[in-house]
Structure 1
């Protein structure tokens, strides 16, 4: 039985809600009410309800202020806001506080019962999910592996009291050899778990330039060690559900780093190794090897080698080291990727063997272009394959947009491609992310339901894949510029204006 507490400054509404609902029959206990937030707070702390229903506009302490305090003190309590004000600012603040439902008055007892049932069902489902993850380390691993939906991430972080809120995320994978290094990295407050022979750290920050600064500092710490450690840094992502992409990229970078450090020549020149590791980002080359185009070749090579040009007179050994790193990365990519034929590899092999002959920056640039050229020709040849993948993604989204658990990771499984690779292909071909495409599809379906049915907003939200109706309202307003009510009125006016008597 879930306990419910009501806060509303109108006595007639409190009596009506209290008396018109058969609480016991519906599986609830009505544990009390109050006329404003100030009076309600001590009673809520005393009765410890599972669900609080509150009005927004009340004297002394309004519903939003009350909700914020409840979420801070008792994050497990679910909040349903009833408002007579159809204003987006109220809904926006409610979304920020993470209330469960935002409903406009008047609300019938039948509507309220439906909302309570829905919240109760979500709480029971959530409890099962909570029980499945018992430690913070297990949560971090599931985040990296992409096993959690956005809603699950929110609930799990609340349950385990993990602060995951940030604007930017990345992942560092580092070999577990030095406790000293790990202690130095602890100052960046990473979310850490151990996996086999590696330590995995999720890094986050609200400001991108400060996260980039941290990444630079971490690279210096790792590479300045007397024996440079194997590590891999992932991409910078802006969504918690995309931490898995950063993790995949970090593992990939780790694999490339291991291939390069296996060469004994490099081990004999650790000073060059440290300088190069701190000066350039190999991830840019890996990304270009995957997704670069022939018309981008000159620009990319000049950019990637720009720090060499900044050196006054780089030694021949330094140029050789840089080209060796470049060719090992390229060779590792060829060995790991199935799209290249033998002719491509045969064209590159003599070029690899000639890197010791390079003496100038200009010769270095020319050799890099010659080595990349056959790979980019292959890219153009295979680019037609992307169309089939895009169609598969669209088909999955069309058939499963109503499923709130549908995510990039799920779609990637359906089309049998890694999430990071699929994300890049789709963004490149469609000029939008898969998440943006899924959201737009859901909004188009919501428009159809708003035009053709009299269903409530929260019912439509559920049917198009949103478990959170106030987040649905926020997204709808953001994409259409109108609330759902305004949209329905707009459609009705349009139909009326075009009707013939």
Structure 2
């Protein structure tokens, strides 16, 4: 029977629910009625309870406080809230504490009975799974699978001699009959980082490992395809064998897909399976095992997949440099508030990372570098520092907690779109955006002697007359004055720090005529280039 309690400070409500619900018929036992959350809390601490039905508004401890307590201390207890308050904040809090149902008063007996039936079905299903796990755990120990797993693990890791392996396999009655072998490794998505699990989670993970083992064993036996055993860090390992090497890859894939599907049905969890390459000699099994582990490492960049076959990965990955991943393009798209270009470039970035076959750590390093470049861009447009910092921190948190490249890039795309929106929402009023984009363009192209008003206006897609007025208003200079100023500054730096000749410097800063450069430099500094260089270099 499912044990339930009712919590409400109104005696009529308590009595009405107690009397009008056919508890026994629904498979329930009403074990207590309580007048407030504190009384219910005390009862739960000393008795077995499966379902709590509670009002929200009560003295001493209200229904939401009780739900919070149960959420943290007794997460297996299902909670039903009935309330006279149809407010979003109450419902939001209820969702936070994983309340099963939020019902508005008045609640009919029929309505509540329907909810209890649904919750009862979920509890029955959970109990059956727990019973199954218990039976599998007993079977595991009875058959001495730990010893068997140790022997097979040594075999695939290649840490013993062939003679030692043969002797141990013979003692266990294991015969390897195939002339081609593959190693596959199964990992549960929710328990990848076993080092971060507390004792309760580790126990839960061990029990689930028994389920993974038994399901895998059943399917591999059905195919007559090899051995299944427990590996390191709660992984399950498949040593697959065949006498038909040509069909072996297809059969291995079919076995893995069937295992994934069955485990999804039973556990409701995603499993990842890495399949190593095909080998012919037993002493080379460690190569296939290492391949399988390496294939699993690709789950981050191919996050939507659940089966990772080394042959497939090698076909789709190769050399790729970071400079090919469109970092500069994305900043230009943000500058121009071009969200379509942002989406296109993010797709290019995803393809580049996958082609490179990067690890999760390298992806994080690369994306963080790209993320760090955006605040400087936003600051150059004089946006609010608080907004800049907050948006970056939120994006960094989302990117680091993402479970796949797809999710991380989605967070990054949202950040880029937000940055583009910030640049285009009026915070850069008075034409500041055009002026700053122009100054940025000049900084990058001042060495091109054809750079002029027409080329900058074509780049910004704005008329020359409108741009000239905006630029003068924001900077206090004409476009040509600003361009000449930057060219002269760059020329001074070259004269001070290099031994280049005057005509070489003229060419580097955008002057095709050295004589015109000398005249412009003397007008700007009061000295000829030669005099300036002699003075600065101490010649």
Instruction: Calculate the TM-score normalised by the size of structure 1.
Output: 0.34
Greater RCO structure (CA 8 Å; 6+ sep): 1
Instruction: Calculate the TM-score normalised by the size of structure 2.
Output: 0.32
Q: Mark the structure with the bigger radius of gyration.
A: 2
